[in-house]
Amino acid sequence: MNKLKKHIENLHNYIEEIWHIFSYNSLDNNEKKYKTTIQAICLVVAFVACFTFTVNLKSEHFIIAGVCFFLIVSGLVFFFVLMQWNAIKFVLNFYTILFVLCYSLCFVKGYNNGFAGLWIIIFPFLPILVGGAIHSLIIGCYFLFFVIVCLWTPVRNCIFPYTAEFCSLFPVLFASSFIFSLYINFRIQKENIAQEDLVKLKQKHIEELAFTVEKEKEFNLHLSFKMINSMTKALDSRDEYTKDHSMRVAELSRITALKMGCSKDFAKSVYRAGLVHDIGKIGIRDSILYKKTAFDSAEYAAIKKHPEIGYNILKESIDDQIVLDGVLFHHERFNGGGYPQGLYGEAIPLVARILCVVDSFDAMNSNRVYRNAMTEQDIFVELKKFKGIQFDPEILDAFIEMLQTERPDFLAEN
pTM above threshold 0.75: no
Q: Looking at the predicted structure, is the pLDDT value of residue 351 above 50?
A: yes
Residue 72 has pLDDT above 90, yes or no: no
Which range scores top for mean pLDDT: 28-32, 382-386, 407-411?
382-386
What distances in angstroms separate CA 398 from CA 258, 265, 344, one per listed residue? 10, 19, 20
Residue 246 has pLDDT above 80, yes or no: yes
E-state strands within 142-260:
none
pLDDT above 90 as % of the chain: 20
Please write the tens of the pLDDT for every residue from 380-404.
889 999 999 999 999 999 999 998 8
Is pLDDT of 274 > 80? Answer: yes
Which CATH architecture best describes the domain 238-405? Orthogonal Bundle (1.10)
CATH 1.10.3210.10 positions along the chain are 238-405
What does the alpha-carbon distance between residue 28 and residue 96 come to, in Å, rounded to a whole number?
17
Burial 214-246 (b: 16+ CB within 10 A, else e): eeeeeeebeebbeebbeebeebbeeeeebeebb
Report d(CA 158, CA 135) in Å as an integer: 29
Q: Give the C-alpha separation, 360 to 385, whole Å.
A: 13
**Before 340, cis peptide (omega within 30)?**
yes
pLDDT tens by residue, 159-209: 888 778 878 887 887 788 777 777 777 776 677 666 777 777 777 777 777
For the segment 237-252, the average pLDDT, to the nearest whole number, is: 74
pLDDT category of residue 44 using cuts at 50, 70 and 90 = confident
Q: Residue 371, class by beta-carbon neighbours within 10 Å (0-12 exposed, 13-18 middle, 19+ buried)?
A: exposed
Residue 412: the pLDDT is: 53
How confident is the model at residue 155, as a pLDDT?
A: 84
Determine what percent of the chain is predicted with pLDDT higher than 70.
65
